Amino acid sequence: MDQITTNPIVIGIDAGGTMTDTILVDQDGHFKIGKSATTPKNEAEGFLASAEDAADAWGISLEQLFSGVNVVLYSGTGMLNTLLSRTGRRLGLITTKGLEDMILMGRGLQAWADYSYADRLHAVTHQHPDPLVPRRRTHGVTERIDQFGDIILPLYEHEVVAAARKLIADKVEGICIMTIFSHVNPVHEKRIAEICREEVAAAGADIRVYTSHEVRPVIREQSRLNSVLIEAYATSRGRQQLKGIEDVAKKYGFKYGVQTLLSFGGLTSINHPRLHETMISGPIGGILGAAYVGKLIGNDSLICSDMGGTSFDMGVITRGQTRIENEPLMDRFKLNVPTLHLDTIGAGAGMILKVDPLTKKVSLGPESAGSDPGPICFAKGGTEPTIADCDAILGRLNPHYFLGGKVVLQVEKARAAFEEKCSRLLGVGVEEAAEGMIDMLEADANNALRRVISGQGIHPSEFTLLSYGGSGPLHLAGCSRGIGFKDIITFQFAAAFSAFGCTTADFMRRHSVSTQHDIGARAGDDELLAFGRKVTNVWDDLTKAAVDEMIEDGHAREKIRTVPFLMMRYTGQLEDVEVMAPLSAIHSAEDMRRVIDEFEAVYAKVNHRVSRYGEAGFSITELGLIATADKVKPVLLKRPLGKSDPASAHKGVRDAYIGGRWHKANLYEMDLLQPGHEVIGPAIIEHPATTLVVHPQDRVHVDEWTLLHYTHA
């Protein structure tokens, strides 16, 4: 990298299940990354250690770092872990009488989520996810609003009073309210909340009240119920963790508020009223970063692959369209949270390896060693062999350069344990067994990539694979071999690419409401105009709500941009497509036709042109509004290509076991590679936070953006 003379202006943090990655960016696009073990009990510790590592790489103190930056972005999995570990708040629920068992019944799709094919087939091991609210703390009250918003039964307020008093006596920490069709008319939910707050105040209790129409005013009662429950259950501890991170940043001189990443790809304050929208913020950053890089390289069809210590996450951008999932599954709960779509499998360098001594069957995971105790070679108490131990045994990891030398890998300790628990039971040599384990991991990832591509309806040769995450470059060759990608790219900052992606995002709010407008294929001008007026009225209401929230967060009105959108489908279909409206209001039948034309164009990109079916008519199932405000973004530097000889980055030779035998692999320092350099395998390109293994005869070329392009022999 060039000599850096300015200080960073943006700090991006991605706290994963194993490591916390930091990227520092200055106004000119220079960046440095830092890395530290994640500290789930107090995320502020890992945040500070990772930031300090990055500050050291930049050559400044923590005080200089935090006092000079404009933005601190933090994304992580803390709230999701609260849900997974069931360590959230004690809740009560008030709902429409007759719906008291909704939590226990759930939905079939979520009840069978995460089960293997065999378990789904035989149903022997099946059980519903543990309820967030037990039946005894669920109270039904008489009321009824129909699908049109008309009151069929009035609210019996005395039943609400009795339910609230019982929950207060039960010492709940939060009261959730979800009545049927409240997304159409919330009048009963509002009155129930009002009564509950009156009772809480009278009892002198500290109990927060949550309503489903405020958290997620959209159709599908079960998903709306899950959304309000998880907002109440998991975000309280998450807010405390984020507040602790903000306090640490301010202690070292940070002047503003910490930001976090929304699941649909924008930034928001940690005081966001619907914080459950940030629960899977970490992996989303990678998709944002991929879209940014795609514009640089001129390819709008991208596969994003993020391999860390625990999982292998994949996202797809197809012809410029990123798929939005309206009802993602989170720990076997269906939520009404718009989320950039991700496919995930358990495949990371921390996967624990097991060999059955009787059948000789090899299992990878599903458990991961995580950051605590970590792989055996970390010497932090881990006793079970992992993929990372195999990488160390085979010489692919530098034992004296992991995290820049802050962790010295105990290779012999890992080798002895692996031999005892794996290779000896299999009756093969240590190296052969270790490479076999790595091949299994890479085959799983390779097959997962093929499955993701096959669902897109276009050939792999149109896609560019972007590989990142701390373990992405390490296993890139095997994960991508034989698929036939147009290009394969990884990064000098691969370990912190998701954090980098966070820094490319703008401040954002997204508001939406369910609707049901069916438009006939041959609708006339008057009918189209009537639809358009209804749509515009909703957009106007959403615009006010989103803009008011952003102004409250400190953004100037003149800097806020708004874009309305629609969720549309051909009538009779089961899946929606998100369409960004080509205009901000619909004033004529022709305007409405433009919206329909835009839907058909987007549908053809996401699916295929011949799958369009306009004769069925069109359905609008949701209307929404996205409000954004700009923030400073990093700029990757474009530099002229130089000579191909990478001698200036060469740092020696090391024995590495690749493809069934030991090789003398050339070692290169990743940060010293310059545009134009070409590395031919066998080679290992090292960085304090990641390692790129180049297999024999494969090549790596550095382009003008200093992106690393991998080519198979």
Name the domain boundary from 420, 450, 484. 484
At 222 the three-state DSSP class reads: helix
- Position 613 in a domain: yes
* Predicted confidence band of residue 412 (pLDDT cuts 50, 70, 90): very high
Structure tokens at 312: 């292998």
Domain match, 566 and 610 both: yes
Comparing 20-34, 145-159, 531-545, which segment has the lowest mean pLDDT?
20-34
Structure tokens at 196: 């509950």
Domain match, 614 and 466 both: no
- Position 296 in a domain: no
pLDDT of the residue at 217: 81
- Position 307 in a domain: yes
| 670: number of Cβ within 10 Å | 25
Comparing 9-23, 85-99, 101-115, which segment has the lowest mean pLDDT?
101-115
In the chain, the number of structural domains is 5
Is the pLDDT higher at 191 or at 22?
Answer: 191
Q: Which of 295, 318, 623, 305 is nearest to 442 (CA)?
A: 305
pLDDT of the residue at 320: 79
pLDDT of the residue at 4: 59
Domain match, 76 and 185 both: no
- Position 495 in a domain: no
Domain match, 245 and 220 both: no
- 130: enclosing H helix or E strand: none
Is the pLDDT higher at 453 or at 699?
Answer: 699
> Which amino acid is it at 674?
Q
Domain assignment of residue 201, given as a range: 86-231
Is the distance from CB of 689 to CB of 401 less than 8 angstroms? no
Name the burial class of residue 82, with classes exposed (0-12), middle (13-18) and buried (19+) by CB atoms within 10 angstroms of its CB: buried
Residues linked to residue 351 through DSSP beta bridges, in sequence order: 368
Name the burial class of residue 316, with classes exposed (0-12), middle (13-18) and buried (19+) by CB atoms within 10 angstroms of its CB: buried
Is the pLDDT higher at 72 or at 574?
Answer: 72
Is the distance from CB of 142 to CB of 155 less than 8 angstroms? yes
CA distance 528 to 543: 22
Helix ranges restricted to H, 98-139: 102-105, 108-111, 117-122
Let me know the angle formed at the C-alpha of 56 by 52 and 59, rounded to the nearest 5 degrees: 135
Domain match, 124 and 177 both: yes
Q: Dihedral of CA 296/299/301/306: which sign? A: negative
Domain match, 405 and 336 both: yes
- Position 200 in a domain: yes
pLDDT of the residue at 504: 85
* Stretch 321-335: mean pLDDT: 70
Domain match, 345 and 411 both: yes
pLDDT in tens, 479-499: 999 999 999 999 988 988 888
Name the domain boundary from 209, 231, 253. 231
pLDDT in tens, 501-516: 888 888 888 888 888 8
Percentage above 90 pLDDT, the chain? 49
Domain match, 65 and 121 both: no
pLDDT of the residue at 1: 44
Whole-prediction pTM: 0.77
pLDDT in tens, 216-254: 887 788 888 988 998 888 887 788 888 999 999 999 999
Q: What are phi and psi of 545, to 5 degrees?
A: -65, -45
pLDDT in tens, 115-125: 666 666 766 66
- Position 291 in a domain: no
- Position 287 in a domain: no
Q: Which CATH number goes with the domain that contains 19? A: 3.30.420.40
Domain match, 511 and 480 both: no
* Predicted confidence band of residue 190 (pLDDT cuts 50, 70, 90): very high
Is the distance from CB of 301 to CB of 319 less than 8 angstroms? yes
pLDDT of the residue at 295: 86
* Predicted confidence band of residue 282 (pLDDT cuts 50, 70, 90): low
- 651: enclosing H helix or E strand: strand 650-658
For residue 272, CA distances in Å to 125, 231, 275, 291, 477 come to 39, 11, 5, 25, 41
pLDDT surpassing 70 at residue 384: yes
Domain match, 465 and 396 both: yes
Domain match, 590 and 679 both: no
Query: How confident is the prediction for the chain on average, in pLDDT?
Result: 88
| 375: number of Cβ within 10 Å | 30
Name the domain boundary from 416, 450, 484. 484
CA distance 291 to 306: 14
Comparing 205-219, 355-369, 569-583, 608-622, which segment has the lowest mean pLDDT?
608-622
- 444: enclosing H helix or E strand: helix 430-454
- Position 501 in a domain: no
Q: Which CATH number goes with the domain that contains 151? A: 3.40.50
pLDDT of the residue at 40: 78
Domain match, 320 and 458 both: yes
